[in-house]
Amino acid sequence: MIEGACLCGAVRWTFAGTPDGATACNCTACRRYGTLWAYDYEGEGIRVSGATKAYARGKVLEFHFCPTCGCVTYWRALILEDQGRRRIAVNLRLAEPSAVAGIAIDHFDGLDTFDDLPRDGRCVKDMWF
């Protein structure tokens, strides 16, 4: 299990197991937030706790952040999938570096093509600096 928390510790998340990859997205929101996302479903592989504020991006998803320290902690889909499941992604930059260092980076072109890009061999540890 991987755990993450905002700077002040008021908002926390857990990710069951280890994600297949950490997504670096270049869309207009993610490139500004500087996030690395790990995806699953709310209440299944990902659990979050603590009060957040949210910024709704259209009618598709909302970005949650800590109202005290401002860290972007996760995004949450506004539309339920089949069987009432809700996609969610946590910001791996809020985990301890040693817990996520070896996770491969997946690049997603959310700005132009909306396509997954090929892996280039980098891991989260390569994105810290």
Average pLDDT over residues 23-43: 92
- 82-91 residue pLDDT tens: 889 999 999 9
Rg (CA), the chain: 14
12-15 and 2-5 strand pairing: antiparallel
Average pLDDT over residues 68-95: 95
Q: Give the helix ranges, DSSP H, for 22-113.
A: 30-33, 97-100
Whether 129 shows a pLDDT value over 80: the answer reads no
Annotated domain spans of the chain? 2-98
H helix or E strand, kind and range, residue 126: helix 124-127
- Mean pLDDT score across all residues of the chain: 93
The residues pairing with 51 across neighbouring beta strands, listed in sequence order, are none
H helix or E strand, kind and range, residue 44: none
Give me the pLDDT at residue 70, please: 96
Average pLDDT over residues 17-41: 92
pLDDT tier for residue 111 given thresholds of 50, 70 and 90: confident
User: What's the topology of domain 2-98?
Assistant: 2.170.150
Give me the pLDDT at residue 55, please: 96
